[in-house]
Structure 1
Amino acid sequence: MREKVIKVLDKVRPALQADGGDVELVDITDNGIVQVRLTGACKGCPMSQITLKNGIERIVLKEVPEVKAVEAVN
């Protein structure tokens, strides 16, 4: 599952990088929660939760059905 998640994050990464941000995979828990760290401009952006839920999480859930949720960690 880790490789699938990495491939999906690689797909969304260019859009984040275009705005000066990025995302990195931190961990995948045993219960299917993907933990990511938003970096760069995304780190302090007030829209980061929307980016996380409506962008990153939506695509990851669609392409990797085993994932239950995506959450940001510091």
Structure 2
Amino acid sequence: MMPFSDEDLKLPVSTIIENKVAPMLAQDGGAISLLDIKNGRVFVQLQGACVGCSASGSTLKYVVEKELRAAIHPELEIVNVPQGMENSLEEL
């Protein structure tokens, strides 16, 4: 059970993504955007060189999700939102 509301999670999640994850992805020409948080699920969209990269799934699971779980809560889940699906988060 997540002890935080989605609203409570927005600032710490966005801070980690902006300050730790985004600079790392930028080194390889990639980018990441936080789209929303719903029920402990963090919806992000990979951009730049990350789109279509064969390592993007591993990057999300073993870098982004791991960082968020360690810093905030172990039940956080990261979901990559494909281009064009930004308005259909509930379907993912």
Q: TM-score, normalised by structure 2?
A: 0.75
2:10 equivalent to 1:2:
yes
Task: Please say which structure displays the higher CA radius of gyration.
Answer: 2
Distance 1:50 1:44 in 2: 12
Distance 1:34 1:16 in 2: 17
2:11 equivalent to 1:17:
no
- Per residue, is there more helix in 1 or in 2? 1
Task: Work out whether residues 65 and 76 of structure 2, in 8 Å CA contact, stay in contact via their aligned partners in 1.
Answer: no
Gaps of 5+ in 2: 1-8, 83-92
Match of 1:39 in 2: 47
Distance 2:12 2:63 in 1: 17
**CA RMSD across the alignment:** 1.2
- Per residue, is there more strand in 1 or in 2? 1
Higher relative contact order (CA 8 A, sep 6+): 1
Q: What number of residue pairs does the alignment pair up?
A: 73
Query: Which of 35, 38, 44 is 1:26 aligned to?
Result: 35
Gaps of 5+ in 1: none
Distance 1:42 1:72 in 2: 11
Q: TM-score, normalised by structure 1?
A: 0.92
Query: What fraction of aligned residue pairs are identical, expressed as a percent?
Result: 37
Distance 1:46 1:60 in 2: 22
Match of 1:58 in 2: 66
Match of 1:49 in 2: 57
